[in-house]
Structure 1
Amino acid sequence: MSDALQLILEDNDGTQLETSCSRFAVVWQGKELWVQAVGDQLLIGVDVAEGDTEYANLLLRPQATNLVSLQLEMEPALADEDDHVHGPDCNH
């Protein structure tokens, strides 16, 4: 299985451009949301820059049978959490 993503980009008039890449980012609310395929999973992450004072949380909510809503929520980063390693139990 290839980890390459096949993209279809569409502009406002409906013209489509097909391309492929290993990962891509969307700048949304001033943050880079990176998307990449790893095996049969689609990973989505938010880049954290040095000196950021907030953590980004991504909230995924079902909207319909084949539609979901993705929301970006910012949470203050506490100074004593600088060495925090994200894991399945950290709620970030």
Structure 2
Amino acid sequence: MSDALQLILEDTDGTQLETSCTRFAVIWQGQEIWFQQVGNNQLMIGVEVEEGAAEYANLLLRPLATNLVSLEVEMEAADVGDDDDHVHGPDCNHD
């Protein structure tokens, strides 16, 4: 199984460009929304958070119809003191 994501980029005139990558981001509502394949046919979607940021982003996924979903970015205040007890481990997805 390949870690590469197959992308199709389309212009407003319908011209398509096919490419591949291991990870890509969309800048949406001022936030970098990252997409990455993580194995077992799963797609990880995350938001970059800068060190010392006053807010963090939640991604909200809501079903709209059988084959449609809505993805929203919701900003919340960061609780600086809450992360003091966090221990970085192999499963926390922090660098």
TM-score by length of 1: 0.87
Return 5+ residue gaps in structure 2 as ranges: 89-95
Return 5+ residue gaps in structure 1 as ranges: 87-92
Helix, strand or coil for the counterpart of 1:12?
coil
Give the equivalent residue in structure 2 for 1:23: 23
For 2:5 and 2:24, the matched residues in 1 are separated by 9
Instruction: Provide runs of 4+ in structure 1 moved above 2 Å.
Output: 82-86
Give the equivalent residue in structure 2 for 1:77: 78
Give the equivalent residue in structure 2 for 1:65: 66
Give the equivalent residue in structure 2 for 1:50: 51
Quick one: percent identity of the two aligned structures? 73
Cα deviation code 1:26-64 (max 9, x no counterpart): 001111000001111000000011221111100000011
CA separation of 1:32 and 1:84: change in aligned 2, threshold 3 A: farther
TM-score by length of 2: 0.84
RMSD over equivalenced CA pairs, Å: 1.5
For 1:67 and 1:7, the matched residues in 2 are separated by 19
